[in-house]
């Protein structure tokens, strides 16, 4: 089978636009959470979210007309900018490709909500202003499947155009799908990653009803996302896009591309337990890690860092920590295991891509980023979460963990280029 490498990364994150800004903020513990501004929060118990407030990158999307902008969901410009940044790092000019080159590049992305933000906005226009004011693109732009098509159309890429939507594991599964597609020799290069922008009144009300989001730190928004704390009370909505150029190693070498990392393993399981909760044993989460390690032909003793799912919900953080112990045993105490969501909230279907981006940057900088807002240890969460302050740490191989509603588990393993 082919070896699969990462040659480009791009990021649009609540705590930084561009991969370097995202990394600098993440490494130093800068939070992107704040009071919600995307809608009037009066009727919503949770008034905190991690929004992408700096939209100045839109100025660089010169190929988008004002008409284009009115026909796409909020997530798409984020995805396009992150794709452009990833391509530039990989040494690819998307605007100058030949037709034959365009046929060798496909798109596989993960998104949980897709265009639900666009759809919710159009329904509100319909109810308040009448059907005549509704966009004719209301249905099409709301489909989750359009997320990849917008990227293909923007850059005229004729390869495959697929969206994986498995909830919070969407982008991990998209990356796993892309990894397998390239190593089986079906296509030499893919644009892949995660995209999400679903901070809406309707969705937040729904999650408040479920009791899965934090509703008790509205006055101190920077401290609201607090994974693994004894007093955690739920996740904080996030949004953004984290995109990658994945390609077959020999293809990258022939182009003279700089190889940032190699993806070596992917594992996925389902607890088959509950629509919202994960199974209390953590066995299937642990098995997903074992599958990924076996796929990578690596042992637990070779993992130097774990990017945890770490949403700050009571049950998930406890069971995820237990699952890590099932896999790594006593060595779990020696592995830095932090949650990027403490700084960027939970970007739903883009969570795995955000975690992979932070992990590759951590590997390249030999620096384990922190879990911020870590104040009150929970005896049921007893790993090394790199509390509050990041630290130097040699990272040659790392694991990125993801868990989703519907009791899904997905794991990626990445290592330093060899």
Task: Determine contact, residues 272/177, Cβ cutoff 8 Å.
Answer: no
Burial class (CB in 10 A: 0-12, 13-18, 19+), 412: buried
In the three-class reduction of DSSP (H, G, I as helix; E, B as strand; rest coil), residue 328 is classed as helix
**How far, in Å, CA of 51 to CA of 200, rounded?**
11
Q: Tell me which of 46, 346, 381, 402 is the catalytic residue.
A: 346
In the three-class reduction of DSSP (H, G, I as helix; E, B as strand; rest coil), residue 112 is classed as coil
Task: Give the torsion sign (CA, 387, 390, 395, 399).
Answer: positive
Q: Report which of 160, 204, 157 is spatially closest to residue 178, judged by C-alpha positions.
A: 160
Task: Determine contact, residues 143/114, Cβ cutoff 8 Å.
Answer: yes
**How far, in Å, CA of 22 to CA of 18, rounded?**
6
Q: Tell me which of 46, 162, 168, 322 is the catalytic residue.
A: 168
Task: Determine contact, residues 341/310, Cβ cutoff 8 Å.
Answer: yes
Catalytic status, residue 168: yes
Tokens of 81: 């900018």
Strands, E assignment, 33-127: 34-35, 48-50, 105-110
Tokens of 173: 């599964």
Task: Give the torsion sign (CA, 343, 344, 349, 351).
Answer: negative
Q: Tell me which of 198, 309, 381, 402 is the catalytic residue.
A: 309
Tokens of 340: 């990027």
Q: Using N-to-C axis directions, what is the helix angle for 201-210 and 116-129, rounded to 10°?
A: 110
H/E/C letters for each residue in 115-142?
A: CHHHHHHHHHHHHHHCHHHCCCCHHHHH
Q: Residue 142's Cα: distance from chain center in Å?
A: 20
Catalytic status, residue 251: no
In the three-class reduction of DSSP (H, G, I as helix; E, B as strand; rest coil), residue 97 is classed as coil
**How far, in Å, CA of 167 to CA of 173, rounded?**
10
**How far, in Å, CA of 11 to CA of 141, rounded?**
22
DSSP label at 262? E
Tokens of 174: 């998209």
* Residues marked as catalytic: 168, 309, 346
């Amino acid at each position: 089978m082919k070896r699969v490498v990462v040659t480009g990364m791009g990021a649009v994150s609540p705590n930084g636009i561009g991969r370097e800004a995202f990394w600098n903020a993440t490494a130093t513990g800068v939070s992107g959470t704040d009071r919600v501004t995307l809608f009037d929060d009066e009727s919503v118990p949770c008034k905190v979210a991690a929004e992408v407030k700096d939209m100045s990158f839109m100025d660089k999307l010169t190929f988008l007309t004002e008409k284009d902008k009115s026909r796409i969901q909020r997530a798409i410009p984020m995805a396009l900018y992150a794709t452009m940044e990833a391509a530039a790092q990989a040494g690819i000019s998307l605007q100058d490709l030949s037709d034959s080159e365009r046929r060798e590049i496909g798109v596989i992305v993960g998104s949980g909500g897709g265009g639900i933000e666009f759809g919710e906005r159009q329904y509100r226009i319909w109810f308040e202003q009448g059907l005549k004011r509704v966009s004719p693109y209301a249905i099409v732009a709301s489909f989750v499947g359009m997320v990849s098509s917008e990227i293909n159309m923007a850059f005229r890429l004729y390869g495959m155009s697929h969206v994986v939507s498995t909830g919070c594991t969407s982008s991990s599964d998209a990356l796993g799908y892309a990894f397998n597609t390239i190593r089986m020799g079906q296509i030499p290069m893919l644009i892949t990653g995660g995209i999400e922008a679903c901070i809406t009144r309707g969705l937040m009300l729904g999650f408040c009803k479920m009791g899965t989001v934090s509703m008790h730190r509205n006055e101190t928004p920077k401290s609201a996302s607090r994974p693994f704390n004894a007093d955690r009370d739920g996740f904080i909505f996030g949004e953004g896009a984290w995109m990658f150029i994945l390609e077959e190693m020999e293809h990258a070498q022939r182009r003279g591309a700089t190889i940032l990392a190699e993806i070596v393993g992917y594992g996925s399981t389902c607890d088959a337990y509950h629509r919202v909760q994960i199974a209390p044993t953590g066995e299937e989460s642990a098995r997903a890690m074992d599958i990924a390690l076996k796929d990578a032909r690596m042992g637990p003793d070779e993992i130097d860092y774990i990017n945890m799912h770490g949403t700050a919900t009571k049950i998930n953080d406890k069971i995820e920590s237990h699952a890590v112990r099932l896999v790594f045993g006593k060595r779990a105490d020696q592995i830095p295991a932090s949650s990027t969501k403490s700084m960027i909230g939970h970007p739903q279907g883009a969570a795995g891509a955000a975690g992979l981006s932070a992990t590759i940057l951590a590997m390249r900088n030999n620096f384990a980023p922190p879990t911020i807002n870590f104040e009150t240890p929970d005896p049921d969460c007893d790993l090394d979460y790199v509390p509050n302050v990041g630290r130097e740490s040699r990272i040659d191989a790392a694991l990125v963990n993801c868990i989703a509603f519907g009791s899904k588990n997905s794991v990626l393993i990445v290592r330093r280029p060899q």
